[in-house]
């Protein structure tokens, strides 16, 4: 039966494929294909892990003390029974044979199938056995992890031209898990929770794959292996579509691919407005390897290197200075002399670490983590970690143009403390004989207080970067990761537009660099408005550069600027912008 699930559109385009249901706690389980020649070895690996767990449980059972509760032995018997059940190992084996899934993926897929069956049982005792099944799976996954030396060489989707595309369905995907997701085989994803600018959505756009979040019920309604269409433009998920609907979306998919190829031809075209204003189009990246995509998209630099992703998925260990240095150096060298702006670690809120040295960063310890000890507040509270990161960044400056960006600044006292720390770091590097060059220092404008006091901040920094995602969140008092209030997240709100316009104007008047690195910079809908405000430096996900460049090439910056007062004075800026900027764009195009 075909049905639709509605959510929030966060990444445009159409994806068609089979659903892969993954529990949130197992998103980071390895997902890759195995070659036909590796199918039997992969099955053997799964069975060895199963047998290891069986042996472990049998030993536990024999070692139970005489006074142990009877329930403990009974529980171990249940786990042993599940491990020997053909529906468990036989079903997982079938995923390996039929779909070429690796053992961990096959095990997780079979778990989702069996868990759904347990949920539908009428007997309460049998329904509760789902928890036992999950515990057994976790044990087998741990056993598989101990066999890392026997893992076969992963295959890619290209090795299976006839295989169906795969779409991930989960309750949620944590930012740390998204690192694994970026290297995976999935062509799109659907989550129950999240908002348009949650970090899950941001990474989806950076990968240029369709995604719908905030569906609430998708992971419960969609079954493993269902055929699914993700309409990333409308925020609709169509499950088991009819042949007619499927063909319509396949046509839209082909049209989207043609449009992407057409925009790709603009890669080497300089971003210059019709009236001759040169525009910088920089890229936002999360890992050094992302620099390759930035170059391929025609970026003129990296406007935001989110260094916090180097700190995630590390089993609680922070990266060393040397490891960070090598990562920053790799990104700087990959950009071949173009500027690389590295933001110091921005953790907390929707990006917690798996191990935190300060308890307040944990969601369970803070009522509102978005307002807590995060970003620069955490860095200043952990001076040793902060100095270590700064040393790595400054050392990387010897290999190219590096700029340092500090997130979530709200107080002059913070700026003074940062400057003092930078001086100490420079002295440490000099004493140790490490080379470094001048690094421009900038702060992010993402708290209204910073926007209001910007003239004071500009006396102490070289540039500012406006993070529109958090600026909107804090201005409107909205948790941008909460789908319950996602409809109130409004980049067109007059207060937001006034803060952005004022920040750009004040930075330019002071002769300081200003850029926008939030989601507004990569949304073509806002390109003309930001140009009208005087913005000349945009930073966005590499995949968004071609569409924004097309808008810039068709724009007349002077004519757009003439429309700005009417937009800022309007009680409906979005409608006024559509009328005023559209007219200016048409007039500019007519002159050329």
Active site residues: 199, 517
Query: What strand order describes the sheet that includes 227-231?
Result: 3-6, 236-239, 227-231, 14-21, 166-170, 186-191, 211-213, 8-11
Nearest Cα to 468, choosing from 433, 494, 444?
Answer: 444
Q: Are 239 and 43 in contact (CB under 8 A)?
A: no
Q: Are 334 and 296 in contact (CB under 8 A)?
A: no
Please provide residue 305's backbone torsions phi and psi, each rounded to the nearest 5 degrees: -100, 110
C-beta atoms surrounding 82 within 10 Å: 18
Radius of gyration (C-alpha) of the chain in whole angstroms: 26
C-beta atoms surrounding 575 within 10 Å: 12
Q: Are 172 and 201 in contact (CB under 8 A)?
A: no
DSSP per-residue letters across 107-175:
HHHHHHHHHHHHHT-S-HHHHTHHHHHHHHHHHHHHHHHTTGGGPPPPB-GGG-TTSPPEEEEES---H
Please provide residue 60's backbone torsions phi and psi, each rounded to the nearest 5 degrees: -60, -40
- Measured CA to CA, the distance from residue 324 to residue 435 in angstroms comes to 16
480: left (phi over 0), alpha (psi -120 to 50) or beta: alpha
Q: Give every CB contact of residue 158 below 8 A, 6+ residues apart in sequence.
A: none
Q: How far is CA 382 from CA 36, 279, 318, in A?
A: 50, 38, 12
Query: Bridge-partner residues for 15, per DSSP?
Result: 230
Q: Are 406 and 440 in contact (CB under 8 A)?
A: no
Q: Are 394 and 426 in contact (CB under 8 A)?
A: yes
Cα 287–chain centre separation: 11
């Amino acid at each position: 039966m075909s049905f639709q699930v509605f959510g929030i559109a966060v990444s445009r385009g159409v994806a068609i494929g089979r659903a892969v249901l993954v529990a949130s706690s197992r998103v980071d389980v390895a997902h890759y294909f195995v070659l036909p020649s590796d199918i039997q070895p992969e099955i053997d690996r799964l069975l060895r892990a199963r047998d290891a767990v069986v042996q472990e449980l049998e030993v536990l059972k024999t070692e139970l003390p005489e006074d142990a509760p009877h329930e403990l032995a009974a529980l171990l018997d249940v786990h042993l029974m599940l491990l020997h059940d053909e529906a468990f190992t036989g079903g997982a084996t079938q995923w390996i044979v039929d779909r070429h899934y690796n053992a961990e993926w096959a095990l997780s897929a079979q778990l989702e199938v069996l868990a759904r069956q347990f949920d539908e049982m009428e007997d309460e005792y049998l329904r509760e056995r789902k928890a036992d099944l999950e515990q057994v799976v976790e044990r087998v996954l741990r056993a598989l992890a101990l066999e890392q030396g026997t893992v076969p060489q992963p295959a890619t989707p290209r090795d299976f031209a006839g295989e169906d595309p795969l779409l991930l369905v989960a309750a949620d995907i944590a930012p740390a898990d998204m690192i694994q997701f970026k290297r995976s085989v999935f062509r799109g994803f659907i989550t129950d929770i999240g908002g348009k600018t949650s970090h899950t959505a941001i990474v989806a756009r950076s990968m240029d794959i369709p995604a719908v979040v905030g569906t609430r019920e998708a992971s419960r309604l969609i079954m493993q292996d269902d055929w699914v269409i993700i309409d990333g433009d409308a925020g609709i998920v169509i499950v088991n579509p009819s042949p007619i609907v499927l063909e319509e979306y396949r046509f839209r998919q082909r049209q989207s691919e043609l449009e992407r190829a057409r925009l790709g031809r603009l890669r080497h075209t300089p971003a210059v407005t019709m009236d001759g204003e040169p525009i910088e189009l920089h890229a936002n990246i999360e890992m050094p390897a992302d620099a390759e995509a930035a170059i391929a998209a025609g970026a003129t630099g990296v406007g935001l290197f989110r260094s916090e992703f180097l700190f995630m998925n590390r089993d609680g260990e922070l990266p060393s200075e040397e490891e960070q240095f090598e990562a920053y150096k790799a990104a700087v060298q990959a950009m071949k002399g173009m500027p690389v702006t590295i933001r110091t670690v921005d953790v907390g809120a929707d990006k917690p670490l798996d191990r935190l040295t300060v308890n307040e960063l944990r969601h369970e310890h803070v009522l509102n983590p978005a307002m807590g000890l995060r970003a620069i507040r955490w860095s200043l509270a952990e001076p040793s970690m902060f100095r270590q990161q700064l040393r790595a960044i400054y050392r990387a400056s010897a290999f190219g143009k590096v700029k340092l960006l500090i997130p979530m600044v709200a107080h002059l006292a913070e700026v003074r403390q940062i400057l003092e720390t930078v001086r100490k770091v420079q002295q440490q590097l000099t004493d140790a004989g490490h080379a470094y060059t001048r690094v421009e220092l900038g702060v992010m404008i993402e708290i209204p207080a910073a926007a209001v006091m910007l003239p004071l901040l500009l006396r102490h920094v070289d540039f500012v970067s406006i993070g529109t995602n958090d600026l909107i969140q804090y201005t409107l008092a909205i948790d941008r990761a909460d789908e319950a209030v996602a409809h109130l997240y409004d980049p067109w709100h007059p207060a937001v537009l006034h803060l952005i316009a004022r920040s750009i104007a004040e930075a330019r008047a002071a002769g300081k660099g200003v850029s926008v690195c939030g989601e507004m910079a990569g949304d073509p809908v806002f390109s003309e408005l930001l140009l009208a405000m005087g913005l000349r430096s945009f930073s966005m996900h590499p995949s968004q550069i071609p569409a924004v460049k097309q808008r810039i090439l068709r724009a007349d910056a002077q004519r757009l600027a003439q429309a700005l007062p009417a937009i800022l004075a309007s009680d409906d800026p979005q409608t006024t912008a559509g009328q005023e900027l559209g007219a200016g764009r048409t007039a500019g195009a007519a002159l050329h």
